Amino acid sequence: MCGHAGRPDFFTSHMSRYLAIIPAAGAGTRMGAVLPKQYLGCDGRPLLYHAIARLCAHPAIEQVCVVLAPGDRRFETYDWQRFSAKLQPLYAGGPSRAASVLNALEHLDRGAQADDWILVHDAARPCLSAPLLERLIVEVGEDRCGGLLAVPVADTLKRAGNDDHSIATLARAGLWQAQTPQMFRYDLLLRAFRSCDLTKITDEAAAVETLGLRPKLVHSDATNFKVTHAQDLVLAQLLLQHAAEKK
């Protein structure tokens, strides 16, 4: 069980680094669009641009690894020069998000240390704010398990049958909606992904939970949502424009 700020025995004397992974090899079929979801336009930029910008802007994050499909030819058509000091494209995407993250972790094995922090963020979650990212880093602190941004479930939940009719009302007490980034020590996350069934893993916290550990839930808010359906693009654009006007 985790949840305290004590330093694990495997820590070395060097200062832990912060490295980020953005899995961006999916086709985004639920959007029903011609382009893969990460390349859909939002406020004049592809969704992926905004995810990259949020992570590259944090001074503590040294590298942002974007995991692309091996045959991706769209990424190179955009101008990423602004992020060249931190951005690293990796054409090693797998058949699932989990497989892509594992491939990135294996790639980072060349330079990552056991106690380096890995932040995994969705390519289609463009409205992550600087305060939320900072809150995640600060509140996870030195927690042995790591943690993730999440929001307590507020709406009543229904379980549906095969005919899309409600068959039960679920108690929402203690339920949270997971978001990203999710942040874990490199060696812990790599061990979790290597030992679990990738076909059953939907996020990094789920992989860590298979080791019997309990990641910390860090309060987020609804603005850090994932673009899943076409109408989500409209809301994301409004939020991005509002954030730009406040600067």
Look up residue 155 and give its two tokens: 């709406």
C-alpha torsion angle, residues 50, 56, 61, 63 (rounded to 10): 100
Q: Rounded distance, CA 113 to CA 142, Å?
A: 15
Q: Is residue 11 scored above 60 in pLDDT?
A: no
Inter-residue contact 100 to 25 (CB < 8 Å): yes
The boundaries of the domain holding residue 109 are 18-246
Q: Is residue 3 part of a domain?
A: no
Q: Is residue 62 scored above 60 in pLDDT?
A: yes
pLDDT at 172: 86
Inter-residue contact 38 to 46 (CB < 8 Å): yes
User: Based on the structure, what is the number of domains in the chain?
Assistant: 1
Amino acid type, 2 = C
Q: Is residue 32 scored above 60 in pLDDT?
A: no
pLDDT at 10: 38
Q: Is residue 29 scored above 80 in pLDDT?
A: no
29 vs 192, higher pLDDT: 192
Q: Is residue 76 part of a domain?
A: yes
pLDDT at 27: 74
Q: Mention every residue, 6+ apart, whose C-beta is less than 8 A from residue 67.
A: 21, 22, 23, 24, 25, 90, 92, 93, 100, 101, 103, 104
Each residue of 158-198: pLDDT tens digit? Answer: 999 999 999 999 888 889 999 999 999 999 999 999 999 99
Q: Is residue 8 part of a domain?
A: no
The pTM assigned to this predicted structure is 0.91
Confidence of residue 246 (pLDDT cuts 50, 70, 90): confident
Q: Is residue 1 part of a domain?
A: no
Each residue of 73-82: pLDDT tens digit? Answer: 999 999 999 9
Q: What is the CATH number of the domain that holds 119?
A: 3.90.550.10
How big, in percent rounded to 5, are the helix, strand and coil portions of the chain? 35, 25, 45
